[in-house]
């Protein structure tokens, strides 16, 4: 049984406003990451689900595996080029094709599935992941989809493949939706318990050729799965609400393996939703990273999880380069509705403490919360620009709010004062006009503020920072060029 992992392409969305934004952002990012190499191609990061599940499958005896990386393939909002895609698919003949798309590239994944079925009609196509989980019954209805694994797949996927290899029916496997011969959708009556993270097989680090190391921004690593907070816009259902921590020696060993294969120059990006939520655990991993002494890394966390000075000092001394903070909006009423326990009156004091520890900070800013007027949205952007001007932030992302399937905003939009206009998932994209309207704003109103925000942040980040050290930067780097390629 030969298994092909499919990395679905993402349509390029061209915004002229983004070109200068990402150039100025990139200059500041490089200033905090000495030795960072620009990407040759725009893979951005390894698809972690592939190396992870590949390790699980190898442990279960399925060792004929390869990855079909289509992420940077030419793809527009209208769809894929069937002729070119068909040529690629013919180079990857498999018995099983595994997909784990995100929301905006789900339609392209379905098109590719149709092509695979046309070229290899006897193959089986299995979907899973963050968008397939909440939509498992709908996706299972698609003619080219044989099975949808919902939730975590460490037990369900091997069980399904073993049943298929023995010619057995899948009716008694958990976490599964599929079509019956009469067209009805069968959904499992039970779900498997989640596997404790330290019982999950080691990833297959070398699933991709080592040359892919030239195409990525950083190496993603996970210390803990799970986040105790519930945000209205988050699709947390595939990792859970309680953090489950990997053993320290495993984390350090995995980092070493990835760097050995893809390049020791690579920075590590910890993908934990809230890296600093548990003080003792944070100090433990920082100690392990400091003892290694070769690893520079970035983290993401929440504002209310950055209040301890010991944690901040330890992050800095252990090699942390960049802290990404989910601020989203500086409207306290919106924080109370859409996030938990974030008190914005402490924002400047907290950022000052982070700054005093020598850590570079970057905010996640989201435009378009349904309880806000356009003026409220604009205020968040202008306030964030002021934080950058004062050196309390070094940079900020800005994305449009998207009610992704799996989030509370998608499942019960009316409770948030939001009306979804359609479910054409191609347009559920953070760079495009919103797919909803509110009592305070229509899509055009919200999008105008979004474009204003990109321009305002571009101008602010284009100023020379008194905090950052630009001395090691090369004059021949084409900063921001990565945005010309498809990625999210």
Q: What is the pLDDT of residue 240?
A: 79
* Same-domain status, 93 and 241: no
* b/e sequence 464-484, b meaning 16+ C-beta within 10 Å: ebebbeeeebeeeeebbebbe
Q: Tell me, what CATH number does 75's domain have?
A: 3.40.50.2300
Q: What is the pLDDT of residue 440?
A: 98
Q: Provide mean pLDDT across the span 79-92.
A: 95
Q: What tens digit of pLDDT does each residue of 163-195 get?
A: 999 999 999 999 999 999 999 999 999 999 999
Domain assignment present for 448: yes
Domain assignment present for 112: yes
pLDDT of 488 higher than 50: no
Residue 484's pLDDT band (boundaries 50, 70, 90)? low
Give 177's strand partners.
148, 187
Q: What tens digit of pLDDT does each residue of 214-239 get?
A: 999 999 999 999 999 989 999 976 77
User: CA 95, 100, 104: angle at the middle one, nearest 5?
Assistant: 130
Domain assignment present for 174: yes
Residue 392 to residue 380: CA distance in whole angstroms = 15
Domain assignment present for 23: no
* Same-domain status, 234 and 267: yes
Domain assignment present for 197: no
Q: What tens digit of pLDDT does each residue of 439-455 get?
A: 999 999 999 999 999 99
Domain assignment present for 200: no
* Same-domain status, 232 and 164: no
- Could you tell me if 327 and 303 are in contact, meaning their C-beta atoms sit under 8 angstroms apart? yes
| Nearest one of 64, 106, 66 to 89, comparing CA atoms | 66
Pairing of strands 147-149, 395-400: unpaired
Percent of the chain at pLDDT > 90 equals: 86
The total number of structural domains in the chain stands at 2
Q: What tens digit of pLDDT does each residue of 123-158 get?
A: 999 999 999 999 999 999 999 999 999 999 999 999
Question: Structure tokens of 242?
Answer: 């309680």
pLDDT of 57 higher than 80: yes
* Same-domain status, 407 and 363: yes
- Could you tell me if 128 and 148 are in contact, meaning their C-beta atoms sit under 8 angstroms apart? yes
> How many residues are recorded in the chain?
488
- Non-local (6+) Cβ contacts of 273 within 8 A are 226, 227, 229, 234, 236, 239, 300
Residue 212 to residue 214: CA distance in whole angstroms = 5
CA distances from 246 to 135, 193, 197, 239 (A): 29, 18, 6, 13
Residue 269 to residue 262: CA distance in whole angstroms = 14
Residue 413: which domain range?
A: 33-42+210-467
Domain assignment present for 140: yes
Question: Structure tokens of 104?
Answer: 């905006």
Residue 146 backbone phi and psi in degrees, to 5: -90, -40
Q: Tell me, what CATH number does 422's domain have?
A: 3.20.20.70
- Could you tell me if 123 and 95 are in contact, meaning their C-beta atoms sit under 8 angstroms apart? yes
* Same-domain status, 224 and 172: no
* Same-domain status, 128 and 254: no
- Non-local (6+) Cβ contacts of 83 within 8 A are none
Residue 103 to residue 11: CA distance in whole angstroms = 12
Neighbours of 87 (CB within 10 A): 10
- Burial environment of residue 58 by CB neighbours within 10 A (0 to 12, 13 to 18, 19 or more): middle
* Same-domain status, 229 and 177: no
- Burial environment of residue 83 by CB neighbours within 10 A (0 to 12, 13 to 18, 19 or more): exposed
Q: Provide mean pLDDT across the span 285-311.
A: 97
Q: What is the pLDDT of residue 368?
A: 98
Residue 348 to residue 334: CA distance in whole angstroms = 18
* Same-domain status, 69 and 38: no
Q: What tens digit of pLDDT does each residue of 237-258 get?
A: 677 778 999 999 999 999 999 9
* Same-domain status, 435 and 421: yes
* Same-domain status, 113 and 224: no
* Same-domain status, 147 and 267: no
Domain assignment present for 134: yes
Residue 485's pLDDT band (boundaries 50, 70, 90)? low
| Nearest one of 469, 310, 277 to 391, comparing CA atoms | 469
* Same-domain status, 120 and 250: no
Q: What is the pLDDT of residue 486?
A: 53
């Amino acid at each position: 049984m030969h298994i092909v992992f499919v990395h679905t392409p993402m349509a390029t969305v061209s915004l002229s406003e983004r070109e200068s934004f990402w150039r100025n952002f990139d200059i500041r990012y490089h200033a905090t990451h000495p030795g960072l190499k620009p990407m040759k191609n725009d893979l951005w990061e390894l698809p972690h689900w592939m190396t992870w599940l590949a390790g699980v499958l190898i442990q279960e005896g399925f060792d004929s595996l390869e990855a079909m990386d289509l992420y940077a393939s030419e793809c527009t909002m209208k769809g894929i080029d069937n002729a070119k895609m068909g040529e690629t698919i013919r180079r990857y003949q498999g018995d099983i094709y595994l997909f784990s798309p995100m929301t905006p590239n789900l339609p392209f994944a379905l098109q590719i599935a149709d092509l695979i079925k046309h070229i290899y009609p006897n193959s089986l196509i299995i979907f899973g992941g963050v968008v397939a989980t909440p939509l498992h019954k709908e996706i299972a209805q698609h003619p080219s989809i044989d099975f949808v694994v919902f939730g975590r797949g460490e037990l369900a996927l091997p069980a399904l493949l073993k049943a298929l290899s023995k010619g057995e029916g899948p009716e008694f496997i958990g976490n599964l939706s599929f079509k019956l011969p009469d067209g009805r959708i069968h959904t499992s009556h039970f779900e498997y318990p989640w596997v404790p993270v330290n019982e999950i097989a080691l990833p297959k680090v070398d699933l991709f050729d080592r040359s892919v190391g030239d195409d990525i921004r950083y190496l993603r690593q996970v210390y803990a799965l799970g986040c105790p907070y519930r945000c209205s816009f988050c699709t947390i259902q595939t990792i859970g609400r309680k953090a489950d921590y990997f053993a320290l020696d495993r984390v350090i060993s995995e980092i070493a393996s990835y760097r050995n294969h893809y390049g020791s120059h690579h920075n590590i990006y910890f993908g934990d939703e809230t890296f600093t939520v548990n003080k003792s655990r944070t100090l433990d991993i920082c100690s392990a990273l400091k003892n290694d002494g070769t690893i520079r890394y970035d983290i993401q966390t929440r504002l209310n999880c950055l209040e301890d000075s010991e944690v901040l000092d330890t992050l800095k001394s252990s090699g942390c380069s960049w802290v990404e903070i989910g601020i989203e909006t500086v409207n306290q009423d919106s924080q109370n509705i859409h996030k938990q326990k974030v008190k914005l009156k402490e924002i400047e004091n907290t950022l000052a403490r982070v700054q005093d520890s020598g850590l570079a900070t970057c905010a996640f800013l989201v435009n378009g919360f349904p309880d806000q007027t356009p003026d409220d949205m604009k205020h968040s952007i202008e306030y964030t620009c002021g934080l950058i001007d004062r050196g309390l932030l070094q940079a900020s992302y800005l994305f449009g709010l998207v009610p992704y399937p799996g989030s509370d905003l998608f499942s019960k939009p009316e409770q948030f004062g939001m009306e979804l206009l359609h479910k054409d998932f191609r347009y559920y994209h953070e760079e495009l006009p919103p797919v909803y309207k509110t009592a305070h704003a229509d899509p055009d109103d919200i999008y105008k503020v979004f474009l204003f925000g990109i321009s305002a942040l571009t101008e602010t980040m284009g100023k020379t920072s008194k905090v950052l050290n630009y001395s090691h930067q090369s004059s021949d780097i084409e900063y921001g060029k990565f945005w010309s390629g498809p990625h999210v």
